[in-house]
Amino acid sequence: MNNSENGLHKVVVVGGGAAGLELATRLGRKLGARKKAHVTLVDTRMTHIWKPLLHEVAAGSLNSYSDELNYVAQANWNHFHFQPGRMIQLDRQKQAITLAATVDTNGKQLLPERTLTYDTLVIAVGSHSNDFGTPGVQEHCLTLDCREQAEQVHARFISEYLRAQAAEDPSEKMNIAIVGAGATGVELAAELHYAAKVMARYGMDAIKPENVNITIIEGSDRVLPVLPMRISTGVQKQLDKLKIRTLTGHIVKEVTEAGLATNQGEFVKAELKIWAAGIKAPNFLNHMDGLETNRINQLIVKPTLQTTLDDNIFAIGDCASCTLVNRQGENYTVPPRAQAAHQQASLVARSIIDSLKGKAPGNFSYKDHGSLISLSTHTAVGNLMGNLTGNIMLEGFLARMFYISLYRLHQMALYGKWRTGIIMVKDLLERTTRPRLKLH
């Protein structure tokens, strides 16, 4: 079925995260600007913030409103269209998706339920935390799946300090528990440790930095279990230096208002509890007109990143499960990482552009460029991998600079080199006019 309008191929991208936004931007520049396709981006929010930065928003070291990108403006600058809305239905026969009605905070309808037709559909709706059905998580834990949740963590963090200021008790303690020792959990722990020191410098010292007890709980036998052992070992040493407690080999069995109970009989007292363990794709993908999904709701795709049952539908990023074969002939699943999302967006952009020339889509080949873990301003640990450099272990200032450059590369993909340069200058100037930590 052809839903082309005015002779233009209609591409609909659902999800404005790293993968979806980069893809819409590339297609807008390559096809939309030349009137070769009609490109539409759909997202439930009006603005974008890079998900790997949410731990900094939670700690207050990043002002999300300063670093956010507005979808409407990005669409105007890059020749694509933006539709606010949440996808609720797919009709593969009619090649159409349905968006739920949009309402404001008072429940008043802003936009009615709508239908968008497509020739090519790309689903890039990301993932969110997986609580594995653990009792008490929904009631007592915060997560870091979006900016609003990160800001909620920050608000709770500030509230605990204000409560302690009123108490004026020099022995006052603050207990924070983070479930999950992946990149998000580890980086959040280090960022909150730094935030405690900054709070004391600004006079909010009723809770001493050394009395902010941070515990990371991890079910595997080490932190960062999916990364190489030497990175895990290096990060563990840094966490020990910061006196951040790690409980590895502990699975949380229940969460209460007072804290978390583990399968090893440990009870971790915590006023602030953050769940950063595991991921799963949104539940609605399980009901998308028969598309094949796995146990964590990810859409199963072929090496071309097309869904197994419909070549007109691609899935990229964390919501896609793509199995490839490595050099040893072994099957492996592409990891849910920012660099994978970026590479997948690049491939699908080329595939869609080539399809208009009658060419078949290419196969995805994941290139692991290494991993970098930021421990706030303290240090960073990781490795870089490449054809020329091999596998290089980095730590300290140099690793920190490489880590920061990852965000700049994301900005360059969205803004281009010149505008990213201007943003970097703006960020440097703002350091002299605002506190090191958001204090509200």
H-only helix segments in 132-216: 137-140, 147-167, 183-201
DSSP assignment of 22-45 equals HHHHHHIIIIITTTSEEEEEEESS
Say what the pLDDT of residue 245 is. 96
DSSP assignment of 268-301 equals EE-SEEEE---EE--GGGGGSTT--B-TT-PEEE
Is pLDDT above 80 for 390?
Answer: no
Mapped onto helix, strand or coil, the DSSP state of residue 71 is helix
Look up residue 49 and give its DSSP letter: -
Q: What global pTM score does this model have? A: 0.90
What's the CA gap between 294 and 127, in Å, rounded? 13
The CATH number that domain 130-278 falls under is 3.50.50.100
- When mean pLDDT is compared across 9-23, 165-179, 248-262, 303-317, the lowest value belongs to 165-179
Instruction: Please indicate whether the domains covering 9-127+281-355 and 130-278 agree at the CATH topology level.
Output: yes
Is pLDDT above 70 for 288?
Answer: yes
The values of phi and psi at residue 265, to 5°, are 85, 10
Q: Quick one: pLDDT band at residue 388, thresholds 50, 70, 90?
A: very low
Does 346 or 64 have the greater pLDDT score? 346
What is the average per-residue pLDDT within 234-242? 91
Say what the pLDDT of residue 14 is. 98
What is the CB neighbour count within 10 angstroms for residue 7?
A: 8
- For all residues of the chain together, what is the average pLDDT? 88
Is pLDDT above 80 for 2?
Answer: no
Model confidence over 187-232: pLDDT tens digits? 999 999 988 888 888 777 777 888 889 999 999 999 999 888 888 9
The tokens for 184 are 């998000």
Tell whether domain 9-127+281-355 is in CATH 3.50.50.60.
yes
Model confidence over 407-433: pLDDT tens digits? 788 888 888 888 888 888 887 777 776
On whether the CB atoms of residues 140 and 257 are closer than 8 A, the answer is yes
Is pLDDT above 80 for 377?
Answer: no
Say what the pLDDT of residue 389 is. 44
Mapped onto helix, strand or coil, the DSSP state of residue 261 is strand
Is pLDDT above 70 for 392?
Answer: no
Model confidence over 129-145: pLDDT tens digits? 999 999 999 999 999 99
Is pLDDT above 50 for 387?
Answer: no
Mapped onto helix, strand or coil, the DSSP state of residue 217 is strand
What is the average per-residue pLDDT within 54-58? 88
The domain limits of the chain are 9-127+281-355, 130-278, 370-430
Say what the pLDDT of residue 47 is. 92
HSE (side-chain half, CA atoms, 13 Å) at 85: 25
What is the DSSP pairing of strand 128-129 with strand 279-280?
A: antiparallel
